[in-house]
Structure formats: structure tokens, C-alpha cells
């Protein structure tokens, strides 16, 4: 196996060395690509030092050397990668020694195009733990049981009961399959949730297999300056980010002929629910009335059976 590990770097001078060295512990890691995204701290200098110190570490910046966000940085990393497989790692996260144990066996099967696993949580300080424990706790981010590859996409959409979650830090992809079947890659106009959106689409087009689900293969590093709360939210409010995510997922799904009608309806309703939940009070009730009329007309036409969602209200 030749694995390219892609690490977007922004405001992570304190953590990037740990992330890089956690990837270099594996012989299968052919290269570590650091995509420095105009960090306001000293991260660029740390990246230069790491690239000088380790032969397998390669440093890149965007052509204009400006900030483009995590999605665009990952896309650049994929473009520059030369390995047969791609894995991702955030600059403040790190791999555990079992990170690629499942991949070594599963990728012997040519049908396997992606492998996902579980990640844990590491708090870099007591203050960070106090701040974010209610969000992450000490629990695994994982899928609760192994699923057939065809069930991973609807499972992520919460269509098959309790499915769970997996993170991009615990995902390994066959590079050729990704480039040939998933277009575009990360959607750069989404300031948040580009990774979630790509997980949805890639699990539809590619065969995803479960790796290690009952123990962490990587750790999410939590600190006071996590990117999601300190950078991206200046441009997109968290309360609106899910609306934008599902708007994008719905737009893609409605235009994809291979997606079944019941899945399209589920995605449409999920988008509708987030849209209504984040609308102003008066607008909310107008939207509910409009969608009830649409649902009623569809029922009369026999297009689908209504399933009222509590989160509309």
C-alpha cells in the first residue's frame, strides 16, 4: 500500500508536528502532504521545518498563497498526491498505531474503494474540556455495526435506523476510484461541512466497508481555538450551516438520476426541516403551510405517503 495523507494546515503551529509524526509511524504512508492555508500563526515555519526534516513530508500552498479554506486545501492535496490511497488528517488531530490495520486486509479485495473507522477525543487542556465536553464527551465517533456498502449512504441519511457517524480522519479511499467517480471533490463554496457533504456523495458512488468500529483509530484534538468555532463561523453562522449543507445535498440528489425516489424525498424533507427550523417565526409558519399544501397535493397524486416530522414544529 502507498498511502498519501493530506493535512490542511491553518492556525495549528502547536499541533501540526504531532499530527505529522503520527502519520509517519506507518510504513504504508508514502507521503504526507501539508497544505498551508495562510495561517495567521507560525504554522508555515513549522511546516517548512518538518518538510526539511522528513523526506516523506511535502509542503504546498495555494498558488496565490492566500487562504482558501479546508475544502480547497484538501482538493489541492488530492491533486498533488501520488499514492494509490488517500487518507485525511486535520492538523490538530492525530492517528493511533492501529489506524491502517483494517485497510491492510480489506483493500486486498478489489471491490473495496473506501474504509471507515472510529475516532476518539483528546482534550489538549482542561479549559478545552470544560468548553467542549458537552459536545464531544469521551465517546467514540463511530458507526454502530458493520453494514453492506449499499447501506452506508442511506445510513448516513438516518434512513436505516440508528447508524452512527464516521469522520474523515478515519476514512481511507482508493485514489483512482475517488478521482474517477466523485466529481467535484470537496465543494469549496461550503465554508462548513464540506467533509460531511463529500462523505455523503462518495459513499453513494463508492463501496465503503467498515474497518475498526469498536476502538479509535485516530483522535480528534479539541482545544480552545478549534477552526470550526474560530474561523469559519465568521463567514457562516453555525445555525445556518446545516441549512446550507442540506441545500447542497438536496440540489445534488435531485439532479442524480441514480438516486431512488424515496431517498430523494427523504433528503428533500430533511433540507426542508432545517430550513424551517432556522427561519424567522412568521416565515416559519408560512413555510410550514406551503409545504403541507405541497405534501397534500403529492398525496392526492399518489406520489408518496406523508410522514410528518416533529422537527418541522
277 and 187 in one domain?
A: no
Say what the pLDDT of residue 131 is. 87
C-alpha pair distances (Å), 72 with each of 28, 142, 194, 290: 25, 26, 10, 37
134 and 162 in one domain?
A: yes
150 and 130 in one domain?
A: yes
CB atoms within 10 A of CB 271: 22
Distance CA 218, CA 66 (A): 29
- In the listed set 234, 268, 293, which residue is the last one of a domain according to the structure? 234
Q: pLDDT of 87-118, one tens digit each?
A: 999 999 999 999 999 999 999 999 999 999 99
CB atoms within 10 A of CB 28: 18
Ranges of the chain with pLDDT below 70: 226-239, 281-313
- Residue 169 contacts residue 195 (beta carbons within 8 Å): no
- Grid cell in block for residue 179: 478521482
Say what the pLDDT of residue 227 is. 54
Q: What is the DSSP letter of 311?
A: G
- In the listed set 169, 199, 234, which residue is the last one of a domain according to the structure? 234
179 and 277 in one domain?
A: no
218 and 99 in one domain?
A: yes
- The number of domains in the chain is 2
Say what the pLDDT of residue 310 is. 40
142 and 22 in one domain?
A: yes
Distance CA 147, CA 144 (A): 9
211 and 249 in one domain?
A: no
Distance CA 234, CA 238 (A): 9
21 and 73 in one domain?
A: yes
Q: How would you label 201-216 residue by residue, b for 16+ Cβ within 10 Å and e otherwise? A: bbbbbbbbbbbbbeeb
- In the listed set 206, 234, 262, which residue is the last one of a domain according to the structure? 234
What's the distance, CA 275 to chain centroid? 21
Give the residue ranges of DSSP H helices in the chain. 16-24, 43-53, 69-80, 101-106, 126-136, 152-156, 175-181, 194-205, 227-230, 238-255, 261-277, 281-300
29 and 150 in one domain?
A: yes
Say what the pLDDT of residue 233 is. 46
Supply the Cα-derived Rg of the chain in whole angstroms: 20
- Residue 39 contacts residue 9 (beta carbons within 8 Å): yes
C-alpha pair distances (Å), 146 with each of 96, 163, 167: 21, 10, 15
- Grid cell in block for residue 312: 418541522
Strands 118-123 and 94-95: unpaired
Domain of 11 in residue numbering reads as: 3-234
Give this prediction's pTM: 0.87
225 and 130 in one domain?
A: yes
3-state secondary structure of 259: coil
- β-partners of residue 118 are 216
Write the CATH number for 171.
3.90.550.10
251 and 209 in one domain?
A: no
170 and 32 in one domain?
A: yes
Strands 114-116 and 171-174: antiparallel
Amino acid at each position: 500500500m502507498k498511502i498519501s495523507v493530506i493535512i490542511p494546515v491553518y492556525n495549528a503551529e502547536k499541533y501540526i508536528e504531532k499530527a505529522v509524526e503520527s502519520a509517519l509511524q506507518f510504513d504504508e504512508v508514502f507521503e504526507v502532504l501539508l497544505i498551508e492555508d495562510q495561517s495567521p500563526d507560525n504554522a508555515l515555519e513549522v511546516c517548512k521545518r518538518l518538510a526539511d526534516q522528513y523526506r516523506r513530508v511535502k509542503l504546498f500552498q495555494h498558488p496565490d498563497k492566500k487562504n482558501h479554506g479546508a475544502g480547497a486545501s484538501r482538493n489541492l492535496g488530492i491533486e498533488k498526491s501520488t499514492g494509490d490511497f488517500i487518507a485525511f488528517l486535520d492538523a490538530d488531530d492525530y492517528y493511533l498505531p492501529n489506524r491502517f490495520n483494517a485497510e491492510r486486509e480489506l483493500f486486498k479485495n478489489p471491490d473495496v474503494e473506501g474504509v471507515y473507522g472510529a475516532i476518539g477525543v483528546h482534550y489538549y487542556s482542561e479549559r478545552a474540556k470544560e468548553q467542549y465536553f458537552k459536545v464531544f464527551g469521551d465517546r467514540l465517533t463511530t458507526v454502530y455495526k458493520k453494514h453492506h456498502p449499499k447501506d452506508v449512504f442511506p445510513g448516513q441519511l438516518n434512513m436505516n435506523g440508528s447508524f452512527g457517524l464516521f469522520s474523515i480522519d478515519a476514512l481511507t479511499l482508493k485514489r483512482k476510484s475517488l478521482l474517477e467517480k466523485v466529481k467535484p471533490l470537496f465543494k469549496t463554496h461550503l465554508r462548513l461541512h464540506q467533509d460531511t457533504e463529500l462523505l455523503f456523495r462518495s459513499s453513494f458512488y463508492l463501496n465503503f466497508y467498515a474497518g475498526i468500529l469498536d476502538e479509535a483509530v485516530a483522535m480528534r484534538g479539541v482545544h480552545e481555538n478549534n477552526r470550526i468555532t474560530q474561523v469559519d463561523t465568521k463567514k457562516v453562522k453555525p445555525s445556518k450551516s446545516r441549512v446550507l449543507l442540506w441545500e447542497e445535498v438536496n440540489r445534488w440528489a435531485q439532479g442524480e438520476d441514480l438516486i431512488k425516489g424515496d431517498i430523494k424525498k427523504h433528503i428533500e424533507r430533511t433540507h426542508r426541516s432545517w430550513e424551517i427550523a432556522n427561519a424567522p417565526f412568521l416565515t416559519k409558519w408560512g413555510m410550514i403551510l406551503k409545504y403541507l399544501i405541497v405534501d397534500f397535493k403529492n398525496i392526492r397524486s399518489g406520489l408518496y405517503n406523508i410522514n410528518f416530522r416533529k422537527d418541522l414544529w
